[in-house]
Amino acid sequence: MGRRRIRAYIGLGANVGDAAATLARAVRDLGALPGVRVRGVSRLYLTAPWGVTDQPDFHNAAVALDITTREQPEAAALTLLAGLKALERDAGRRQRARWGPRELDLDLLIFGRHRIVVERPPEARSVEAEIDPAKAARQLEVPHRDLGERLFVLAPLADLAPGLVPPGWHEPAETARDRVASQDPSAAARAIGEWDSASGRWRRR
């Protein structure tokens, strides 16, 4: 089987410690995964926490990756997801309650034009799987099941691909961002930095 190239989009989030530095390191680490090349990095956003509001604001961003693989799409997506979870553990992610603080959160948002629903192997599960039965049983769903309703991922995704219509959608990312922002002004995502590829970090506004 020949090699194929797939464009993937990853959502990044953190609100523990120096979150901006953690996300910048995650961008560099993503580019070091086998068969992965970073093709774009969004602005850095400050967003209100989701679900559990009694915690620090999050820093969020998104990254576009080119994945070169010989695997079938489902297997390739699981390989990438396992890499994301390993990076979370390397960043010190601890077991916490759902929607609680995060040292690093990496979500596979979109994987080319593929719609994927597949059981996660142990290496592709969140660290919370051991304490949260819902996460232990959760399947990988791509596009990410909550992507269309969460501004903290829609805003950075629209930076990278405003006209992208994810598989199964009927609107581009930019339109979805504007729709969600208008429905819930309290969920505002404020851009606070621009990615500087030379230094490998965000330049603060």
- The residues that are catalytic are 93, 102, 105, 107
Within-domain flag for 169: no
pTM (two decimals) = 0.90
Distance CA 92, CA 24 (A): 15
Within-domain flag for 20: yes
Strand pairing class (58-69; 36-41): antiparallel
Residues 6+ apart with CB under 8 A from 181: 151, 155, 187, 188, 189
Within-domain flag for 162: no
Residue 139: its pLDDT value, please? 84
Residues 6+ apart with CB under 8 A from 17: 103
Within-domain flag for 175: no
Within-domain flag for 28: yes
* Nearest CA-CA partner of 59 in 90, 26, 81, 31: 26
Residue 54: its pLDDT value, please? 72
The secondary element (H helix, E strand) that includes residue 153 is helix 151-160
**Residues facing residue 97 across a β-bridge:** none
The per-residue pLDDT for range 71-108, each reduced to its tens digit, is: 999 999 999 999 999 999 988 766 555 555 788 999 99
Query: How far is Cα of residue 185 from the mean position of the Cα atoms in its chain?
Result: 22
Within-domain flag for 117: yes
Query: Could you give phi then psi for residue 50, rounded to 5 degrees?
Result: -105, 135
Number of domains composing the chain: 1
Residue 64: its pLDDT value, please? 98
Sign of the four-CA dihedral 118, 120, 125, 129: positive
Residue 102: its pLDDT value, please? 81
* Nearest CA-CA partner of 58 in 107, 110, 100: 100
Which residues constitute the domain of residue 40? 4-144
Listed as ranges, residues in the chain with pLDDT below 50 are: 131, 136
CATH of the domain at 116: 3.30.70.560
